[in-house]
Amino acid sequence: MKTLAHKICTKQTQTPHPYRFGWTVVQNWFQPTKQDGSVDARTQPKPGRRMLHIHKNGHKRLYFDNWLIAEKYL
């Protein structure tokens, strides 16, 4: 029987948006875990499915698989 692979967040990046001035993209990076719960170093970290875009004036947009899910304006 196949079990689901568990993943753990290994880092979080905050990078400037490549196309939108003033926006920062916050993204979590995940790696699979071993049976004992430690990080499996044989694989490279992969980006998660959620991205948070934050504007310097406080606006926020949450994306899931590149679809806009929610936004908050100040």
Q: How would you class 59 by CB atoms within 10 Å of its CB: exposed for 0-12, middle for 13-18, buried for 19 or more?
A: middle
pLDDT value at 1 more than 50: no
pTM of the model: 0.78
The span from the CA of 30 to the CA of 46, in Å, is: 5
| Tokens encoding 14 | 């905050």
Q: What is the pLDDT of residues 48-69, one digit of tens each?
A: 999 999 999 999 999 999 999 9
The span from the CA of 39 to the CA of 25, in Å, is: 25
The span from the CA of 73 to the CA of 67, in Å, is: 18
